[in-house]
Structure 1
Amino acid sequence: MNDYSVVPDKGVNGWIVKIQDVAPTESYPSRAEAIAEAERMAKEDSPSRVLVYDTKLEIEEEKSF
């Protein structure tokens, strides 16, 4: 099972989608865009899950696909 993480990008003031919490894919200007992309990627790579972090880097939401 792969994990896709949505985390804040402190340097760019956007949001990043990471695969396995290691390899960042792209930076997105809004959190909603990053979540939508992570969910799309997770659905294509099922079984997977999406972990959404808040600005304090605490897990706020978890979804399985």
Structure 2
Amino acid sequence: MKEYTVRPNKDADAWFLKIEDVAPEKDFDKMDEAIEAGKQVAEENKPSRLVIYNHLNQIVDEKTFH
């Protein structure tokens, strides 16, 4: 199962959509934009999981796509 993450950059002024929490695939100005893109990518690559972190790098949501 592939895992995608939405994480802030170190200053929390941009958001990254990452594959397997390694290299950023895309970056976004807003968290909501990154989450929507993450949902779309995870949906297209089932089975997968999307883990969303807040500006403090704490997990705030997890979604699984079957």
TM-score by length of 1: 0.93
Structure 1 gap segments, 5+ residues each: none
Q: Percentage identity across aligned positions? A: 38
Instruction: Report the number of matched residues.
Output: 65
Runs of 4+ more than 2 Å apart:
none
Structure 2 gap segments, 5+ residues each: none
TM-score by length of 2: 0.91
In the alignment, residue 59 of structure 2 is paired with which amino acid? I
Cα 1:12–1:56, aligned 2, differ >3 Å: closer, same or farther?
closer
Question: Whole-Å Cα distance in 2 between the matches of residues 38 and 60 of structure 1?
Answer: 14
